[in-house]
């Protein structure tokens, strides 16, 4: 059998082989490099929100600390460029820490490991410039005795831009209005505070998944609050969160605001309204049978109320509130002192008019001399609470 020689450098197969596609081991690796990355690549980050493009999609960074952020953006662009530039023979790759790649001496055919580390950088101003040393080891042929072992310097330029979301945000864009109202009354200061805080927390959560979920503007109105939202789904989620906290109803309306010049499709703006119940802690309410209650707590599930005849606390879900016809009732407040107690009755004296009157003994323990807040509904008086 005659000896074969490398067609590129002329070395004999017995010295430089086995030959692969007519090439010696060294020439095969040289002729078939795996790392084809450009030596300079460019990427962008949003100067307003720190987001950057990953495979064409704008994503939020994991760090907002400027130095970490710049490296995160540059690393990501570098990995993407490496991925795209690996020769087609590499079917699988893994990024490993720079100190680990040295020790890797064997790989299955079609597999690569890559490592990179910054070796020089200027990140005090934009464009930030980071030069990396990139290393790749790979096996692309089964006759290969040694792995491809390539290294290259790649410089990444990180420039500033404004992402499409922030362009919209900064341009005053909004897609939906979330209106928060209360039934039959304006929102109270306390409710405005609680809703403001709830909305803030919820938006933070929503923005992690929906980058358009921002609040463009908040308008304080006499009757309630209007939130101008970047996305309709965000407005809906907030309405749901408010309803869960306070109860109430949600409704939606659409308004034609114009026609998109590019798609000539009609553009609608959604108004999502959440109307929280009129009831508030401290309200005096009565059901249709005439039972009188003090509202102790209002939430998404219903009302916690104290029956002023039995002085027991009860719970009504919102359906039952409706069915029992529970409504706020007119009442008068007064204060009275317990002047005497008999087995069935209590005598009281009104603290303002000194008028005395008797009531059936209530379901609470009383002592002579104590002063109580009293409520009068439809001519009937009830003990509300002891004056401290």
- Give the interface with Zn ion as residue ranges (CB under 5 A): 6, 8-9, 24, 27, 46, 48-49, 51, 163, 166
Q: Which is nearer to Zn ion, 48 or 280 (CB)?
A: 48
Q: Which is nearer to Zn ion, 47 or 378 (CB)?
A: 47
Supply φ then ψ for residue 221, to 5 degrees: -115, 165
- Smallest separation, CB 51 to Zn ion (Å): 5
Nearest to 132 by CA among 77, 210, 187: 77
Q: Using alpha carbons, list the distances in angstroms from residue 306 to 55, 161, 282, 331, 386.
A: 59, 59, 10, 16, 14
- Smallest separation, CB 69 to Zn ion (Å): 12
Q: Which is nearer to Zn ion, 4 or 361 (CB)?
A: 4
Q: Which is nearer to Zn ion, 12 or 251 (CB)?
A: 12
* Residue in the structure block whose two tokens are 């979920």: 213
Q: Which is nearer to Zn ion, 73 or 284 (CB)?
A: 73
* Residue in the structure block whose two tokens are 């993407």: 80
Helix (H) or strand (E) holding 75: helix 66-85
- Smallest separation, CB 142 to Zn ion (Å): 19
Alpha carbon distance 238, 215 (integer Å): 11
Token pair for residue 251?
A: 């409704």
CA angle 221, 227, 232 (to 5 degrees): 145
Q: Are 198 and 241 in contact (CB under 8 A)?
A: yes
- Smallest separation, CB 55 to Zn ion (Å): 17
The backbone region for 110, taken as left when phi is positive above 0, alpha when psi lies in -120 to 50, beta otherwise, is left
- Smallest separation, CB 218 to Zn ion (Å): 20
Q: Which is nearer to Zn ion, 165 or 181 (CB)?
A: 165
Q: Are 9 and 24 in contact (CB under 8 A)?
A: yes
Q: Which is nearer to Zn ion, 54 or 278 (CB)?
A: 54
What count of other Cβ atoms lies within 10 Å of the Cβ of residue 76?
A: 19
Q: Which is nearer to Zn ion, 6 or 348 (CB)?
A: 6
- Smallest separation, CB 207 to Zn ion (Å): 11
What count of other Cβ atoms lies within 10 Å of the Cβ of residue 43?
A: 22
Helix (H) or strand (E) holding 100: helix 98-101
- Smallest separation, CB 75 to Zn ion (Å): 19
Helix axis angle, 189-207 relative to 232-246, nearest 10°? 130
- Smallest separation, CB 269 to Zn ion (Å): 23
- Smallest separation, CB 219 to Zn ion (Å): 24
Q: Using alpha carbons, list the distances in angstroms from residue 189 to 104, 222, 294, 360.
A: 66, 11, 21, 38
Burial 318-334 (b: 16+ CB within 10 A, else e): beebeeeebeebebeeb
- Smallest separation, CB 214 to Zn ion (Å): 10
Give the count of alpha carbons within 13 A of 77, CB side only.
27
């Amino acid at each position: 059998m005659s000896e074969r020689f490398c067609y590129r450098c002329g070395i004999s197969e017995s010295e430089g082989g086995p030959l692969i596609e007519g090439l010696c081991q060294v020439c095969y690796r040289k002729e078939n490099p795996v790392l084809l990355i450009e030596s300079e690549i460019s990427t962008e980050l949003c100067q307003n929100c720190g987001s950057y493009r990953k495979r064409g999609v704008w994503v939020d960074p994991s760090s907002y600390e400027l130095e970490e952020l710049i490296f995160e953006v540059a690393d990501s662009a570098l990995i993407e460029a490496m991925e795209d530039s690996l020769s087609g023979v590499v079917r699988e790759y893994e990024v490993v820490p720079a100190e680990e790649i040295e020790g890797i001496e064997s790989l299955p055919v079609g597999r690569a490991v890559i490592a990179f580390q910054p070796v020089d950088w200027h990140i005090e101003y934009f464009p930030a410039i980071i030069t990396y040393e990139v290393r790749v080891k790979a096996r692309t042929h089964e006759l290969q005795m040694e792995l491809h072992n390539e290294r290259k310097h790649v410089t990444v330029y990180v420039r500033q831009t404004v992402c499409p979301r922030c362009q919209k945000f900064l341009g005053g864009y909004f897609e939906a209005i979330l209106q928060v109202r209360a039934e039959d009354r304006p929102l109270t200061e306390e409710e405005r505070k609680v809703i403001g805080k709830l909305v803030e927390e919820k938006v933070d959560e929503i923005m992690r998944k929906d980058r358009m979920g921002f609040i463009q503007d908040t308008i304080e109105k006499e009757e309630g609050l209007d939130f101008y939202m970047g996305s309709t789904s965000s407005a809906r989620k907030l309405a749901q969160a408010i309803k869960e906290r306070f109860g109430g109803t949600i409704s939606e309306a659409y308004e034609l605001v114009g026609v998109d010049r590019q798609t000539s499709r009609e553009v609608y703006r959604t108004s999502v309204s959440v109307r929280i119940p009129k009831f508030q802690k401290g309200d005096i309410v009565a059901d249709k049978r005439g039972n009188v209650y003090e509202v102790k707590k209002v939430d998404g599930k219903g009302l916690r109320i104290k029956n002023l005849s039995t002085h027991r606390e009860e719970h009504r879900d919102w359906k039952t509130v409706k069915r029992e016809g529970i409504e706020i009732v007119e009442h008068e407040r007064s204060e009275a002192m317990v002047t005497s107690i008999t087995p069935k009755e209590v005598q009281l004296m009104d603290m303002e008019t000194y008028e005395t009157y008797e009531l059936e003994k209530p379901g609470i323990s009383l002592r002579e001399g104590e002063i109580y807040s009293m409520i009068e509904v439809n001519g009937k008086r009830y003990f509300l609470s002891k004056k401290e």
